[in-house]
Amino acid sequence: MSEFAYFRFMSYNMLTVEEQQHREEIIALTEQVLDAKGLECDSKISKISQEQLREILEGVRRLRKRNKRKIEESSGGEENRQKEAADIVSLE
């Protein structure tokens, strides 16, 4: 189902180059957005307007941005812990 939505995004040239390169991630996030909107089959997706398709893609982008931010925060925290540990060792 979300693969079909992905191909609709592609056919309207709605995706950035980066989004095209991360196809599987976009499909997975699209699945989440479609579930939240209650769209569950290809026949419904094929009938939605380009504007509705754009709204779905905006939801996908918001989710992707949120996920990236979470990853950066968690990896940033890990880097800070490693720096602190290195500082402690150098003080001794």
Name the band, by pLDDT with cuts 50, 70 and 90, for residue 74: confident
pTM over 0.85: no
| Residues in CB range of 92: below 8 A, 6 or more apart | none
Amino acid 12: pLDDT: 94
Report d(CA 77, CA 92) in Å as an integer: 23
Q: At 21, phi and psi to the nearest 5?
A: -75, -25
